[in-house]
Amino acid sequence: MLIKEKLGQAVELLNEHGLDCWLTFVRESGIMRDPMMDFLCEANMTWHSAFIVFASGETHAIVGNLEKNTLDEMAVYQRVTGYTEGIAKHLHEVLREHDPKTIAVNWSENSEVCDGLTHGMYLVLKKHLAGMGFDDRMVSSEKLVSSLRARKTAAELERMKRAVRHTLDIYDEIAAFIRPGMTEKDIAAFTTARIQERGLAPAWDPDHCPAVFTGPDNKGPHYHPTDLVAERGHILNMDFGVKVDDYVSDMQRTFYLLEEGETKAPDDVQRGFDTIIESIECARQALKPGVVPHEVDAAARDYIVSKGYGEFPHGLGHQVGRFAHDGNALLGPTWEKYAGKVYQPVEEGMVFTIEPRLRVPGRGDATVEEMVVVTQDGAEFLGPPQKEIFLV
């Protein structure tokens, strides 16, 4: 089971970061869900609930008594305690038994994925811990949680690879479907139908997953498909992904609509496409454990600029997991909006997109988005990368 795999990983990370205990504290998680609940429990909890992992390897869950059977059935926690009146007594017993000097809880000023403890629940937990003299032992779990989300296990990677395979197969169907005169909405509708036929869901908001951008007047990234018509001589690109067993893909592909009499892309289009492919490889070669993310962004960005194109107006790539944007490290420039994410060292097991972009004047935007996993000494594609432009 994936949760058991992640709990084992959490024990390793507690020891790696010199922490004694990781405590996730929730209530009514169907309404206010801590981002880490996905790695701790298959169900939502109603009452105050504590999921506790110790550096010794021991795992405990303290939940309302009506939810104890659910946790017992999961068979991933060594001890499951159900309570009727209140959690405080049982929380005290577990913590006094182990006497942790540091209790890592889910707050963070820097990362949305590490900041699941609400202020109200922080005050409740602080009151419980003050009653036993432990209130000064709470520390941020940011480093642990960041690594736990980022370092994909074998089970997580298998799900993501399946999502990638589905995405690439659908792109092949799209390439056979597109014709001049179709609108962005036509192409998006076809793609949505193919996703649904496979019993899958889109990786993000269906209003712009898929996204379709055709020609020089397209609305650009993160916009929904429009009535803009795909015309001969235009570049068309698409961005979408699918969800497989709670894990997603996020990939882009570039197409060119041949003019009458053309059998290949014209030189300006081919040169732009080739520059994108070459810049992706520059980034992949730079991506390895320990590197600072903005250096990977610079490898692709500088290459594109060296070929005479302008800088792309966004980061090179983001982490992917249960969400298309999922993680505390980002391959991007040192711009204000990216804050500390571009300084977080890359770790083995992280999955990133690499998605540079450039404008071919009068044609449209060339962009390809690949997904890679960071290995012990480099980075590998999760699926066959695009090496040739799709000709329509």
Q: Give the CATH number for residue 374.
A: 3.90.230.10
| DSSP 8-state symbol, 229 | B
Whole-model pTM?
0.92
pLDDT of residue 177: 97
Given 84, 118, 149, the domain boundary residue is: 149
Question: Cβ of 43: how many Cβ atoms within 10 Å?
Answer: 14
Domain check: are 236 and 138 in the same one? no
Domain check: are 141 and 212 in the same one? no
Q: Tokens representing 338?
A: 């990216």
Q: Is 32 helix (H, G, I), strand (E, B) or coil?
A: coil
Residues 148, 316, 174: CA angle, nearest 5 degrees:
95
Residues 26, 29, 30: CA angle, nearest 5 degrees:
175
pLDDT of residue 221: 81
Domain check: are 166 and 267 in the same one? yes
pLDDT of residue 222: 80
Question: What's the total number of domains in the chain?
Answer: 2
Residues 343, 346, 350: CA angle, nearest 5 degrees:
130
- How far is Cα of residue 311 from the mean position of the Cα atoms in its chain? 24
3-state SS record for 99-165: CCCCEEECCCCCCHHHCCCCHHHHHHHHHHHHCCCCHHHEEECHHHHHHHHHCCCHHHHHHHHHHHH
Contact 159, 321 (CB under 8 A): no
Q: Is 24 helix (H, G, I), strand (E, B) or coil?
A: strand
pLDDT of residue 206: 93
- How far is Cα of residue 284 from the mean position of the Cα atoms in its chain? 18
For residue 292, give its domain range: 151-391
Distance of alpha carbon 46 from alpha carbon 48, whole angstroms: 7
Residue type for 382, please? L
Unique residue bearing structure tokens 């996204």: 211
Domain check: are 155 and 29 in the same one? no
Closest CA to 272 of 154, 168, 362, 152: 362
Domain check: are 220 and 275 in the same one? yes
Given 149, 173, 208, the domain boundary residue is: 149
Domain check: are 181 and 270 in the same one? yes
Domain check: are 14 and 91 in the same one? yes
Q: Are strands 49-54 and 364-367 parallel, antiparallel or unpaired?
A: unpaired
**pLDDT mean by block of 10 residues, the chain; 392 residues:** 94 98 97 95 96 98 97 96 96 97 94 92 96 94 95 96 98 97 97 98 95 92 92 97 97 98 97 98 98 98 97 96 93 93 96 97 96 97 97 96
Given 149, 168, 199, the domain boundary residue is: 149
Domain check: are 156 and 131 in the same one? no
Rg (alpha carbons) of the chain, rounded to whole number: 24
CATH number of the domain bearing residue 126: 3.40.350.10
Domain check: are 209 and 122 in the same one? no
Domain check: are 282 and 353 in the same one? yes
Q: What burial class does residue 192 get, using C-beta atoms within 10 Å of its C-beta: 0-12 exposed, 13-18 middle, 19+ buried?
A: middle
pLDDT of residue 52: 98
Rounded to whole angstroms, what are the CA distances from 338 to 106, 314, 328, 389?
21, 10, 10, 31
Contact 92, 132 (CB under 8 A): yes
pLDDT of residue 219: 86
Which distant-in-sequence residues (6+ apart) come within 8 Å of 324 by Cβ?
A: 203, 204, 241, 248, 250, 318
